[in-house]
Amino acid sequence: MAVTESVPTALRVVDRTIPDRRPDGRDQYTISEVAAYTGLSVHTLRWYERIGLMPHVDRTSTGQRRFSNKDLDWLGFIGKLRLTGMPVAGMLEYADLVRQGDETVGARAELLTAHRDDVRRRIAELQGTLDVLDWKINLYDAAERRTEVG
Amino acid sequence: MAVTESVPTALRVVDRTIPDRRPDGRDQYTISEVAAYTGLSVHTLRWYERIGLMPHVDRTSTGQRRFSNKDLDWLGFIGKLRLTGMPVAGMLEYADLVRQGDETVGARAELLTAHRDDVRRRIAELQGTLDVLDWKINLYDAAERRTEVG
DNA sequence: TAGAGAGTTCGAGTGCACTCCAGGCAAGCG
DNA sequence: CGCTTGCCTGGAGTGCACTCGAACTCTCTA
């Protein structure tokens, strides 16, 4: 019965002080480096792994995580999915398909296609609502001008 | 540090079996009529009133709510705001400005303009992500065709 | 060798937006 | 008159996506 979708504040307010390029040429990044690079918190990165959203991250002999460039690619992609409002459950489903191997490419394409349709629908919806906002803002601006003049 | 915003499932999945026109020509609607019309649950309608998002709803002698056409208009507008991901706190702020009267039209225009910018930014963001989805989907489709043929 | 700093786990806590429940009242019907 | 239906309230519960805390280990620098 809910009528809308909330969008985490971070996504909305985010000021992108996050470096656009990888820390350097290595293939081994600590969790805090990855946090700085992706904009996710270290908490979130660990949580993603816990719930099964990361495809096994390497560890040092003492148990510390070392993320690879492949991990960064993955985080980048699911970051896009999150950005478009895909719930974590959906990303989990996708991650499971990837884990299952090549015979799931069809299912993956299907999942992403459905999501793409959803994104397109939401874009259209947002654009429709822009008109209402324009109309209201114009009303207010006109009212203000009247106040200034009269 | 959150990177995204979740969008309540209902908004995404909603099949609009909701009548597009008002129940009838009256100016007095029960809470369940309004629920059917707006797509909000009766719980949500009462909750909106509780938190101060509704500008005083009439009551019968026995205490039942009777919504007016004006209330329906208001719900329609804040419904649009919700649809664009404005948090309830923001709508509350807007509602307060409306309550304060005509001298707040400037502030209201500002609030809505800021929100409009935000919506525009999000549309652009979604559109950017569509490209990534297209690219991935094409990859998968190509892989599938290879499997079929080879 | 002591202390700072960064990492670890797992479970608990948070904020948002609802969503539901218990217990009760009022109107209409057979 | 009793029953069903629809409404009322205040507070508790839910689901999602993080976010934090406590207690601990490891490495590095002074």
A112 with B79: Cβ contact below 8 A: no
Q: Which nucleotide is nearest to A47 (CA to C1')?
A: D18
Minimal CA separation from A112 to chain B, in Å: 7
Residue A11 CA to C10 C1' — how many Å?
Answer: 28
Compute the C-alpha angle A22/A26/A31, nearest 5°.
65
Q: Give pLDDT, residue A23.
A: 66
Cβ–Cβ under 8 Å, residues A69 and A27: yes
Query: Domain containing B136: what range?
Result: 104-150
What phi and psi, each to the nearest 5 degrees, are found at residue A143? -60, -40
A82 with B8: Cβ contact below 8 A: no
Minimal CA separation from B23 to chain A, in Å: 19
- Determine which helix (DSSP H) or strand (DSSP E) holds B134, and give its type and residue range: helix B105-149
Percent of chain B having pLDDT more than 90? Answer: 77
User: Band of the pLDDT at B125, cuts 50, 70, 90?
Assistant: very high
Co-location of B22 and B55 in the same domain: yes
Can you give the CATH number for the domain in which B87 is found? 1.10.1660.10
Percent of chain B having pLDDT more than 70? Answer: 83
**Does some domain include residue A112?**
yes
Co-location of B77 and B118 in the same domain: no
Identify the CA nearest to B131 among candidates A123, A100, A48, A92: A123
Co-location of A76 and A114 in the same domain: no
Six-digit token string for A111: 């999942």
> Residues B120-147: what's their mean pLDDT?
92
- Number of domains chain B contains: 2
Co-location of A24 and A63 in the same domain: yes
**Does some domain include residue B12?**
yes
> Residues B58-86: what's their mean pLDDT?
96
**Does some domain include residue B1?**
no
Instruction: Determine the residue of chain B that is closest to A44 in CA distance.
Output: B2
Co-location of A73 and A19 in the same domain: yes
Q: How does pLDDT run across A12-54, given as a tens digit for each residue?
A: 333 334 445 576 677 899 999 999 999 999 999 999 999 999 9
Co-location of A28 and A88 in the same domain: yes
Co-location of A45 and A74 in the same domain: yes
B5 with A12: Cβ contact below 8 A: yes
Six-digit token string for A63: 């148990």
Q: Give pLDDT, residue B139.
A: 94
Last residue of a domain, one of B61, B82, B100: B100
* SS3 (DSSP) at B7: coil
Residue A52 CA to D22 C1' — how many Å?
Answer: 24
